Chains A and B, each alone.
Chain A
């Protein structure tokens, strides 16, 4: 168990910057999720943490001790790969015991003199692998391979547990049950865990805290709920949450902020520069109500036409074209209860306040909500 601290960590290959200098602290025993689209540098970051790669500059500290120049085996960090990377020529038992055998240099006992077979049985027990110990990886299903990979990482009780998109090769059903299991596993073992994913659902549900990474930069760090409620910029706003947040270009006028047909009051603390540059208005789909036209018009509601309907359990996600004089504006909203939308319906669309986020159009930074 360890606290992980990154100080000005940077990685360049040739003239390409994979990671811009970044600072980050992952607390002892925390389940920390790094989320970002593919190619954002998150796997590189994991490789740096595991010691498989060296940073161009910056330091990595485990519990305050500098490990930047240490070999992987001196760091005591375990890594689970997206492709599992099980050793195909070894049985499940040998795969699980491999890290212990390597560390002790013996076949039967680990570094501390404990019996390796006992440890294998213990890990196989809580991962449900006991009946599979003599099989080879190619005789296992995807979910079973995943468990072996986890077991191989957990068996030596590492200080730091790194997971590189471990669930993305599983089918949806298995993925959600493994998510729960991972969470429970962490509750039991309390090993500092850094989990990398491109899946915002995993990021929202798994982590104690998360960091959003894009193009080699960390955009925001915080508890999932806090980041969701107050995204720091347009990227985070659009990346976290499904369906993605509606982002509308808006003009700041004398009577208020005009985002398509919607009108919002101008906050008193609106910086002058933003007033000049323009504002991006962000609204989560669950805060946009789409109801049938005949219903009474709420204050600030506008009219629109249904373009797409995506049923999602109790409500539907409805994509609407709003009737606006200047441009075609499309928003995604939730259908009002009791209304089952059809394509082509005339609807009224209203926005719940104060769930409206305002971003500076030129920098993408959030500066408030209305």
Chain B
């Protein structure tokens, strides 16, 4: 690991000072841009209703939990969070299972035109969701899956599959091919070699792929909005967007709700960010 240079440098000359100063200013601007809205949301979520539409004060004089109470006790958000967990978990399982089979085939089995297949898989992930939404809606309606968690879960799985296939293909390619050959010579069918030798060794890659699919599905909005129609099936992002507001926009409740939805995945990303970066660059540098 290479440390940033300024840490190693002696207490700086004037130009060093200017360069570091500039760097801090730029960093602060970027930070403000990224974290600012989130911070504002956090502040809003604990402001009393009376302070919400007034400025100053920027920071509230007193902190209230009413927004959180209303959101967590008296709204469909809890149901929506549960739906989100089900949908995201389903999407993750389907795309990882299907994805690891695809990836194994593309990485190890003798198939003609592997690079073309990988390219086509990549192309499918480039379609903007809006372009496929109406046919997809019709398909789901014909299948009788409209307004079900399964419809959404499957859609997310399909949409996340290219990512999973690419990640896992590069991960499996990294494993020495001799291990696969050894398993075959030791009597395994290709499937058994995959299950007993390759997948256990690809666990870090599987974990990263699963995490990314889960986060994608958790955050996805457009399909979730289109394919669901009732509180029983809506996922968290949709629920937040459709938050009940009769005569006025309930800013405080909205802020509390969106924080509740954001925190789980933000936490996951924070905990696993090292692995995610490592997984995304798998195969680019020889380990």
A52 to B180, CA, bound (A): 10
- Against B, the Cβ 8 Å flags (1 = close, 0 = not) of A48-79 are 00111000000000000000000111000111
A79 proximity list for chain B (CB < 8 A): 181-182, 185
With contacts A87-B197, A89-B200, A89-B201 taken as known, whether A77 is within 8 angstroms of B185 at the C-beta atoms is yes
> Which of B71-79, B133-141, B187-195, B260-268 lies at the interface with chain A?
B187-195
The chain A residue sitting closest to B188, CB to CB, is A102
Q: Chain A nearest CB: distance from B283 CB in Å?
A: 18
A88 proximity list for chain B (CB < 8 A): 201
A264 on the B face (CB < 8 A): no
A310 to B181, CA, bound (A): 42
A156 to B179, CA, bound (A): 18
Chain B, 173-207, CB within 8 A of any chain A CB:
176, 178-179, 181-189, 192, 196-197, 200-201
The chain A residue sitting closest to B184, CB to CB, is A72
Q: Chain A nearest CB: distance from B107 CB in Å?
A: 15
A51 to B186, CA, bound (A): 11
A103 to B186, CA, bound (A): 8
A73 touches B179 (CB 8 A): no
B185 touches A72 (CB 8 A): yes
A152 touches B181 (CB 8 A): no
A51 proximity list for chain B (CB < 8 A): 184-185
A52 touches B184 (CB 8 A): yes
Chain A, 70-98, CB within 8 A of any chain B CB:
71-73, 77-79, 81, 83, 85-89, 98
A99 on the B face (CB < 8 A): yes
A98 proximity list for chain B (CB < 8 A): 183, 186
Q: Chain A nearest CB: distance from B176 CB in Å?
A: 6
Interface centre among A52, A77, A78, A85 (most CB of B within 10 A): A85
B186 proximity list for chain A (CB < 8 A): 73, 78, 98-99, 102, 152
B187 touches A103 (CB 8 A): yes
With contacts A79-B182, A85-B182 taken as known, whether A73 is within 8 angstroms of B200 at the C-beta atoms is no
Q: Chain A nearest CB: distance from B274 CB in Å?
A: 21
Q: Chain B nearest CB: distance from A216 CB in Å?
A: 20
Q: Chain B nearest CB: distance from A87 CB in Å?
A: 6
B178 touches A85 (CB 8 A): yes
The chain B residue sitting closest to A164, CB to CB, is B178
Q: Chain B nearest CB: distance from A182 CB in Å?
A: 18
B184 touches A81 (CB 8 A): no
Q: Chain A nearest CB: distance from B192 CB in Å?
A: 7
A83 to B177, CA, bound (A): 11
Q: Chain A nearest CB: distance from B205 CB in Å?
A: 14
With contacts A89-B201, A102-B192 taken as known, whether A81 is within 8 angstroms of B187 at the C-beta atoms is no
The chain A residue sitting closest to B181, CB to CB, is A52
A99 to B192, CA, bound (A): 12
B185 proximity list for chain A (CB < 8 A): 50-52, 72-73, 77-79
Interface centre among B176, B182, B183, B197 (most CB of A within 10 A): B182
A81 to B201, CA, bound (A): 19
The chain B residue sitting closest to A111, CB to CB, is B187
From A50, A73, A78, A156, contact of B188 by CB (8 A):
A73
Q: Could you give 21 example pairs across A and B, Cβ below 8 Å?
A: A47-B181, A51-B184, A52-B185, A71-B184, A72-B187, A73-B187, A73-B188, A81-B178, A83-B178, A85-B176, A85-B178, A87-B179, A87-B182, A87-B197, A89-B201, A98-B186, A99-B186, A99-B187, A102-B192, A152-B182, A152-B186
Q: Which residues of A contact B (CB under 8 A)?
A: 47, 50-52, 71-73, 77-79, 81, 83, 85-89, 98-99, 102-103, 152, 156
- A-B interface, 8 closest residue pairs, ranked by CB to CB distance from nearest: A85-B178, A85-B182, A102-B187, A73-B187, A99-B186, A79-B185, A72-B184, A81-B178
Taking A50-B185, A99-B186 as known contacts, 4 extra A-B pairs with beta carbons closer than 8 A to each other, sorted by chain A number, are: A52-B184, A73-B185, A78-B186, A99-B187
